[in-house]
């Protein structure tokens, strides 16, 4: 004979959320609801009590609340020492008097007589200032420092870009004592030697329109590639010949920087701080020769 099987207990159900469970611990003994529903019901009732308390506090006037709070902290001796309102002195100074917003009196416009003024040093202001030096070029002149000079650095600029900036200066009626141009390195990489030569002639002509002296700073040795290694010396030799023939002072930087890695940065294109200092000295030395 088979042993009698015990019948499984019937599952319990929550009357609120209709959850079924066979574990009696999941239900409250008071109302037969599940634990979650009982907790939610308690929270809702607590929330209703807080809302009712808040609404009652808002209904009370502010003065009543303040007086009640102060009275709760006051001692009996302090309360006894305060006379009732009927026994207080009738001095009007003790009464509360509302004070309105003060208005500032309007200032009357006083006409002041015009005083004659003059500048006894006015003849000194008409003395023309000495034109300064302009150094303009690619990123290789970033750290060039010359006394009384303005350095304008245009990273990646070609000779045509330098000419465009000089044309803008000419349109603004700017005038310099001398203009130093350091450009051509970015053009030499484009394999257009004849166009580069025409651009150099054009930019020097534009520089002469805004200055008394034009100085062209030659390229720095470039060993980035074999092609640049061959193009830069050729460009340097052409500049050394063309500039003196066309009234342009030339700064030959080639021999000064050749085989001196400490004067160039790791990219082999831009001068280091020591190289920029040497380039500055080379440019400054050319001024005495140009004069």
Residue ranges of domains in the chain, CATH in brackets: 13-68 (no CATH), 131-290 (3.40.50.12700)
Question: Which residues have a Cβ under 8 Å from the Cβ of 24 and sit 6 or more positions away?
Answer: 12
pLDDT value at position 177? 93
pLDDT value at position 2? 54
pLDDT value at position 291? 55
Alpha helices in the chain (DSSP H): 35-59, 62-73, 76-81, 122-125, 159-171, 185-188, 193-208, 226-245, 254-257, 273-290
Q: What is the pTM of this model?
A: 0.55
With a cut of 50, list the residues of the chain below it in pLDDT.
65, 67-68, 71, 125, 127
Phi and psi of 182, rounded to 5°? -130, 100
Q: Give CA–CA dist 204/291, Å, rounded.
A: 18
Q: What b/e sequence results for 17-52 when a residue is b if at least 16 CB atoms lie within 10 Å of its CB, and e otherwise?
A: eebeeeeeeebeeeeebbeebbeeeeeeeeeeeeee
Among residues 23, 290, 33, the alpha carbon closest in space to that of 179 is found at 290
pLDDT value at position 44? 87
- Between strands 12-13 and 20-21, the pairing is antiparallel
By CB atoms closer than 10 A (0-12, 13-18, 19+), residue 214 is: buried
User: Mind listing the pLDDT tens digit for each residue in 35-57?
Assistant: 788 888 888 888 889 888 888 88
Radius of gyration of the chain (CA): 47
Q: How many CA atoms lie within 13 A of 111 on its CB side?
A: 1
If DSSP codes are grouped into helix, strand and coil, which group holds residue 261? helix
pLDDT value at position 176? 94
pLDDT value at position 222? 80
pLDDT value at position 79? 53
pLDDT value at position 239? 94
CB atoms inside a 10 Å sphere around CB 206:
21
Q: Give CA–CA dist 216/179, Å, rounded.
A: 8
């Amino acid at each position: 004979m088979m042993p009698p099987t015990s019948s499984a207990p019937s599952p319990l159900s929550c009357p609120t959320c209709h959850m079924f469970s066979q574990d009696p611990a999941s239900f409250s003994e008071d109302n037969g609801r599940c634990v979650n529903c009982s907790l939610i019901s308690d929270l809702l009732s607590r929330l209703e009590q807080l809302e009712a308390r808040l609404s009652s506090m808002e209904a009370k006037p502010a003065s009543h609340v303040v007086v009640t709070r102060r009275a709760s902290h006051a001692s009996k001796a302090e309360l006894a020492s305060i006379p009732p309102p009927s026994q207080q002195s009738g001095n009007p100074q003790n009464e509360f008097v509302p004070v309105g917003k003060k208005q500032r009196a309007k200032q009357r416009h006083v006409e002041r007589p015009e005083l004659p003024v003059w500048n006894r040093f006015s003849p000194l202001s008409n003395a023309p200032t000495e034109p300064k030096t302009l150094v303009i070029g690619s990123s290789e002149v970033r750290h060039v420092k010359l006394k009384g000079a303005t350095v304008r650095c245009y990273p990646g600029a070609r000779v045509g870009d330098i000419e465009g900036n000089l044309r803008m200066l000419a349109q603004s009626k700017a005038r310099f004592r001398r203009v130093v141009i350091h450009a051509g390195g970015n053009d030499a990489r484009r394999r257009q030697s004849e166009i580069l030569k025409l651009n150099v002639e054009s930019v020097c002509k534009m520089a002469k329109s805004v200055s008394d002296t034009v100085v062209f700073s030659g390229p720095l040795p470039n060993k980035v590639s074999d092609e640049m290694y061959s193009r830069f010396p050729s460009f340097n030799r052409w500049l050394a010949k063309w500039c003196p023939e066309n009234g342009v002072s030339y700064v030959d930087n080639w021999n000064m920087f050749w085989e001196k890695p400490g004067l160039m940065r790791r990219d082999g294109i831009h001068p280091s701080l020591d190289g920029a200092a040497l380039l500055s000295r080379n440019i400054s030395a050319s001024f005495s020769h140009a004069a």
